[in-house]
Amino acid sequence: MKLRIMLALLALLPFLSMAQFTIRGRVIDAQTGASLQGAHLNLNNRLVRVATDEKGMFEITGLKPGDFRLKVTYIGYHPWESLFNIAENKTMLISMEQSPVLTEETIITATRASDKTPVAHQNLSAEEINRNNQGRDIPFLLEQMPATVVTSDAGSGVGYTGFRIRGTDMNRINITVNGIPLNDAESHSVFWVNMPDFASSVGSLQVQRGVGTSTNGAAAFGASINLQTSAPSREAYATITNAAGTFNTWKHTFSAGTGLIKGKWAADARLSKLSSDGFIDRAASDLKSFYISGGYYGNTTIAKVNVFSGKEVTYQAWDGVPSDILKTDRTYNGIGSYTDPDGNQRFYENETDNYQQDHYQLMLSQRLASHLTGNLALHYTRGYGYYEQYKDGEYLEDYLIGPVSIPGNDSLTITQSDLIRRKLLDNNFYGFTWSLNYERNKLNLMAGGSGNRYDGLHFGEVIWAEFAQTAGYRHRWYEGTGDKRDLNLYAKALYEAGRKLSLYADLQIRSISYRLTGRDDDQRDISGNHDFLFFNPKAGIYYAIDPANSVYLSFAIANREPNRDNYTDADPGKPAPVAETLFDYEAGYQYSNEWLKATANIYHMYYRNQLVLTGAINDVGAAIMTNVPASFRSGLEISGKISISEKVRLAGNFTISRNKIRDFTEFVDDWDNWGTQVENKLGNTNLAFSPEMVCGAELSWSIYRGVEFLMNSRYVSRQYIDNTSSGDRVLEPYFVSNLRLGWNIEPDFIRGLEVSLNVNNLFNHEYETNAWVYRYFSEGSYAKLDGYFPQAGINFMAGLTVKL
C-alpha cells in the first residue's frame, strides 16, 4: 500500500494546469551593452531554470498572475534580482554589472555538466546539503537521487558507508573534490569514514549517471560525483552545531570564517567530532576531522589553499550477520571472537580499523582574456593506518614464524598459536590538474588533464603471539608496494548550432602505468607491470523544442583498468584480468516551467569484459573476479519536482531496469574432492546488487515562519547477492520512510538558531542493504556461508545550530 501511494504521487508529475502569461527579455553588460549568452534565470527561487541565447534573449512561459522574484546570475557578474507583479505579458531589459571577484565556479567548470550537456545529471546546492546533513555520511545525502541505493556496515549511517548508482558500486564511480581525484588509486574506492562530516564543507555537488563527461582520476564506469568545497562568505560568521541521537550518536561541529576582507581575502575553518555505538553490536565509531581554507579572490584571479583531514577509529563490522540467525539476532557481530583458557567466548576489544588521511590542495584560477579562463591545481594526499585482529589457532608458518619447542621434550613442537596481527597501509598520492575554458558566442571549448602518482606500502605485523619464540614484537610477515602513474588529457566542445540545437563532443586519452612488487599476506608473489592506454570518446546532441521542453541523445565509451585486488588475487596459472570497456547509450527528455521540472532518461550500458564474481578461486582458495564477455544494464529513469504552492513541494524519482550477464557459468568449491570445483552453466542471469526498481518521493512543507516539515520515502526491489539469480540468495525488497522537522529562528541578538529533529526508518521496517555469500559442495549437497547487513529500526537525531 505504501508503495502504491508513492507511485501515485509520482504519477501526478506530468499533469499540469495551463499557462497564462509570458516574460521575455534580454540580458546585457551594463557598461558595454554586449549581450550575455548563457546567463541563468531563476524565478521565485523555484524550479524554472532558463539560460539566455546567443543574443542574450530569454523567454519564460506558463506563468499565472501574481508576484514574482526574478534572479539572474552570470559568471564574472554581480547577481541581478527584482520583485514585480505580473498580470499580462512582460518584456524586460536586464543590465548586469561586472563583479570585481572571479567566482569559484570556474574551478570545477571543466568537470561538470551544464544545462545543455547531453548527460543525465543532478545537482545538490549548499542549502539542500545542509538541510540533510544531520550526522550521517555523504552517501545518505545522495539517498533520494535516481537509481541510488545506500548502505551502512554499522546500520546507523555512521562509520563505513557506501552507495551504488544503477547497480554500480563505488569501485567504478569517479569521485572528485574541486576536480581533484578522491578515489584510492589502487582499490578505486572511496572510504567516506576517512572524511567524517566533510559534507559541512561542501558547497555543491553534481551526480552524473552513466559515463558522464571526462574527468580526472579513476574511470567513470557507471557514474561520477563532483564535489565543490564551500565558497567564502561575504560576511564574517561562526556556527556551532550539536546533535545527539539513538545508539549514543553525537555530532559536534564548529565552523567560522572571516568573510571577504577588503573584498579580496577570506579564510574559513571547521572542526568536527562524531561518535556512535552503531546499531550492530560493538560497531562503534570515533571520528574527528578538520577543514581549513584560505584564499585571494581578485578581479581576474583566485588563489586558494585547502587543507582537510580525517581520523577514524572504527570497530570492525565487516562480516555481517549470518542468514540463519538474521531473524533472531539482527545485531550479531562475530568479529573479534575468541575462546579464553577457561572455554568462555570473549571479544577482543581492539578489533578496530584505524586510519588518518590528510589532503592538501592549492588551486589557481585566472581569467586570461575576456573569454578565456585557466585553472591549475596541485594536490597531495597522505594516508596511514591499519586494522588489528585477534586470530585464533593460526599456523605459525603462515607468518614466517618457526615452530616452538616444548622445554624438556624436543620431540614435540607447537605449530599453532593465538596471535594479534595488524595489516598496515602507508601511502602518498600527489599530482596536478589543469583546464582551460573558452566561451564566446556559440562555442564553449574546454581542454584539460591531470598527472598523478600514487606510491603505497602494504605490510603486515604480528604484535603478539601466545607461542612464538623466534618472532620479536611487530614481526613483519609480508610486504608489498604499489606504484601507479596516471596521465589524462581531454578536450570538450559544446557548440550551439542554432537557437535550439547544441552539439557536444568530448575526447579523452588516459595512460596508466602500475607497478606491483613484493608479496601479499598469503606469501604469493604479486610482482608485475601493468600498462594501459585508453581512448574514451563521447558525443551527443541537445535540442530545445521550446523554452519548456528539450531532448538529448548521447553515446560514450569508457575503459577501466583492474584494481589491486584483481591482480593480487588472480590465479598465477591463468591469464591475468584484462581491462573492462563500457558502451553507454543515453536519451533524455526534460520539461521545466514555473512550478514543475521533470526529466526522463533511457539508458543502455553494454559491458565488454566486465569483472564479476563467479565463484572461481585462485591457487590458495581465495575468491577472484573474472572477466565475463558480455553483460548490460538497461533502464528508464524518471524524476521530477513540483511546487504545489509557495509552501509545499513534492519531488520524486522512479527507475526500472534490467541488468544481465549473458551465458554465465558459476563455479562452486567441491569439499568432497578438495582442489576441484563444480561448474554450473546458468545461461543469462541477473547482475548482483542491481534492483529492477528503485523509487523515491519527498514532500516538504513550510508550515509557518521558518518551521519546515519534510518526509521522504524509498522503495528498493529485490536484489540478488551473487550473479546466479538464485532466489535463496537475495536481499528482500524494502520500503523505508524518514521524517524531518526543522525550525529556523532569527532573534535580534544572533544571526540565527536552527532546531531539528530527524526520525529515520519511521515505520520501524526490518531490512538489509548489503550481503556476501560463499557457496560450496559437501557430502553430496550444496551449502553456504554468508553475511547480511541489517539497517537500524526507527531511530532519532536531534540537533541545535547556533549562528553567530
User: What is the pLDDT at residue 371?
Assistant: 87
Q: Are residues 252 and 401 in the same domain?
A: yes
> Does 139 map to a domain?
no
> Does 218 map to a domain?
no
pLDDT over 60 (residue 217): yes
pLDDT over 70 (residue 561): yes
Please state, for a pLDDT cut of 90, what percent of the chain lies above it: 70
User: What is the pLDDT at residue 705?
Assistant: 82
Across the range 28-32, mean pLDDT stands at: 83
User: What is the pLDDT at residue 593?
Assistant: 85
Q: What is the pLDDT of residues 386-422, one digit of tens each?
A: 999 999 999 999 999 988 887 777 677 899 999 999 9
> Does 109 map to a domain?
no
CA dist 403 → 369, 415, 477, 549 (Å)? 73, 5, 15, 76
User: What is the pLDDT at residue 69?
Assistant: 80
> Does 755 map to a domain?
yes
Q: What angle do CA 758, 760, 764 make, to 5 degrees?
A: 140
> Does 158 map to a domain?
no
User: What is the pLDDT at residue 282?
Assistant: 96
Which structural domain range is residue 689 located in?
Answer: 237-384+392-803
Which regions of 441-548 does DSSP assign to beta strands (E)? Answer: 443-465, 475-496, 501-518, 528-544
Please state, for a pLDDT cut of 70, what percent of the chain lies above it: 94
Buried b (16+ CB within 10 A) or exposed e, 361-393: bebbbbbeeeeebbbebbbebebebbbbbbbee
Answer with the residue of higher pLDDT: 96 or 44.
Answer: 96
> Does 224 map to a domain?
no
Which residues, other chains included, contact 513 with Cβ-Cβ below 8 Å and sequence gap of 6+?
Answer: 484, 485, 529, 530, 531
> Does 113 map to a domain?
no
Across the range 712-720, mean pLDDT stands at: 98
Domain end residue (candidates: 98, 120, 153): 98
Q: Average per-residue pLDDT in the chain?
A: 91
Q: What is the pLDDT of residues 766-778, one digit of tens each?
A: 999 999 999 999 9
Look up the CATH number of the domain holding residue 30: 2.60.40.1120
Q: What is the pLDDT of residues 739-765, one digit of tens each?
A: 999 999 988 888 899 999 999 999 999
pLDDT over 90 (residue 787): yes
Q: What is the pLDDT of residues 632-675, one digit of tens each?
A: 999 999 999 998 988 899 999 999 999 999 999 999 999 988 87
User: What is the pLDDT at residue 747?
Assistant: 86
Q: What is the pLDDT of residues 332-378, one digit of tens each?
A: 999 999 988 888 999 999 999 999 999 999 999 999 988 899 999 99
pLDDT over 60 (residue 12): no
Measured CA to CA, the distance from residue 452 to residue 532 in angstroms comes to 15
Q: What is the pLDDT of residues 483-510, one digit of tens each?
A: 999 999 999 999 999 889 999 999 999 9
User: What is the pLDDT at residue 16?
Assistant: 38
Measured CA to CA, the distance from residue 409 to residue 421 in angstroms comes to 29
| DSSP letter, residue 4 | H
pLDDT over 50 (residue 134): yes
Look up the CATH number of the domain holding residue 499: 2.40.170.20
pLDDT over 60 (residue 25): yes
Q: Residue 236 — very low, low, confident or very high, per pLDDT cuts 50/70/90? A: very high
Alpha carbon dihedral 544, 549, 554, 560, in 10-degree steps, equals 130
Four-residue CA torsion sign, 314, 197, 138, 624: negative
Answer with the residue of higher pLDDT: 235 or 472.
Answer: 235
> Does 163 map to a domain?
no
Across the range 93-108, mean pLDDT stands at: 71
Helix (H, G, I), strand (E, B) or coil at 111: helix
Q: What is the pTM of this model?
A: 0.89
Answer with the residue of higher pLDDT: 17 or 182.
Answer: 182
pLDDT over 50 (residue 229): yes
Q: Which of 615, 675, 719 is nearest to 167 (CA)?
A: 719
User: What is the pLDDT at residue 13?
Assistant: 44
User: What is the pLDDT at residue 364?
Assistant: 96
Q: Are residues 521 and 669 in the same domain?
A: yes
pLDDT over 60 (residue 4): no
Domain end residue (candidates: 74, 98, 122): 98
Read off the amino acid at residue 535: F
User: What is the pLDDT at residue 35?
Assistant: 82
pLDDT over 80 (residue 132): yes
User: What is the pLDDT at residue 105?
Assistant: 64
Among 27-31, 203-207, 402-406, top mean pLDDT goes to 203-207
Q: Residue 681 — very low, low, confident or very high, per pLDDT cuts 50/70/90? A: very high
Across the range 592-620, mean pLDDT stands at: 88
Answer with the residue of higher pLDDT: 299 or 363.
Answer: 363
Overall domain count for the chain: 2
Which residues, other chains included, contact 291 with Cβ-Cβ below 8 Å and sequence gap of 6+?
Answer: 198, 200, 201, 229, 268, 269, 270, 306, 307, 308
Domain end residue (candidates: 98, 113, 132): 98
Is 556 within 8 Å of 584 (Cβ atoms)?
Answer: yes
Answer with the residue of higher pLDDT: 362 or 7.
Answer: 362
User: What is the pLDDT at residue 102?
Assistant: 58
Q: Are residues 241 and 94 in the same domain?
A: no
Buried b (16+ CB within 10 A) or exposed e, 125-155: eeeebbbbbbbbbbbbbbbbbbbbbbbbbbb
